[in-house]
Amino acid sequence: MMYNMYMTNTIGKETSKSIRYYHRHKDRLNAEARAERAAKRKARGLPPKGSPTSSISAHGYVIIKHPVTGKHGCREHRVVMEEHLGRPLRRNEVVHHINDIKTDNRIENLVVMSLREHSIFHNKDAPRGENHPRAKLTGEQAREIKHSKKNAAFLAKKYGVSTACIKKIQRGESWKHID
Ligand SMILES: [Zn+2]
């Protein structure tokens, strides 16, 4: 005889009991299952389901999941340039935003520079010698600034330097040999 789901008498007592239990408690059970899946995603370091596919980093860059490697937290302008070049960027290659708008990641707004070229480009009017902002900080302080989550204005006040100096350290344009 073909199985007929409406022939309830063919379903065991325990099965029909658990179906009734499910229907009575389905909202709670589904919520529990959802919470469990969310906890698993969190444990694996994945963003919550339904979260936006891109975000803006503390430094103002667009952050996305890498379309090829699937790695989270990638800077979109670097990914766009890698796709354009057809190869991964090297560690010393910087992708500069021509119009200075960090969220404008159209390929025509991006240019690759070496770390050194990029640093010279942004520092061309900066004071040199003993007036150079670097002279006011120790390597240890520069390292603290680089890893600090505080904003530039706060750090500038704390270390007695300009906010531009703080931002250059955070962008890796000065003190780039520290890590
Ligand atoms: Zn730049």
Asked if residues 62 and 76 have their Cβ atoms less than 8 Å apart, the reply is yes
Beta-bridged to residue 97, according to DSSP, are 110
Domain extent listing, the chain:
56-121, 127-170
For the stretch 117-168, pLDDT in tens is: 898 888 765 555 444 554 678 888 888 899 998 899 999 888 888 888 899 8
Would you put residue 54 in left (φ > 0), alpha (ψ -120 to 50) or beta? Answer: beta
Please give the distance, rounded to the nearest whole angstrom, from the Cα atom of residue 119 to the centre of ligand 1.
8
Please give the distance, rounded to the nearest whole angstrom, from the Cα atom of residue 174 to the centre of ligand 1.
12
pLDDT of res. 174: 83
Please give the distance, rounded to the nearest whole angstrom, from the Cα atom of residue 134 to the centre of ligand 1.
19
Q: What is the largest CA-CA distance in the chain?
A: 95
Is residue 110 exposed (0-12), middle (13-18) or buried (19+ Cβ within 10 Å)?
A: middle
CA-based torsion, 150, 154, 160, 162: positive or negative: positive
For the stretch 40-52, pLDDT in tens is: 988 887 767 776 7
Please give the distance, rounded to the nearest whole angstrom, from the Cα atom of residue 19 to the centre of ligand 1.
62
| Distance (Å, whole) CA 134 – CA 112 | 25
The pTM of this model reads: 0.45
Ion ligand 1 residue ranges (Cβ < 5 Å): 96
Element housing 94 (H / E): strand 93-97
Q: Which of 135, 122, 127 is nearest to 173 (CA)?
A: 122
Is residue 145 exposed (0-12), middle (13-18) or buried (19+ Cβ within 10 Å)?
A: buried
| Distance (Å, whole) CA 84 – CA 79 | 9
| Distance (Å, whole) CA 149 – CA 156 | 13
Please give the distance, rounded to the nearest whole angstrom, from the Cα atom of residue 4 to the centre of ligand 1.
69
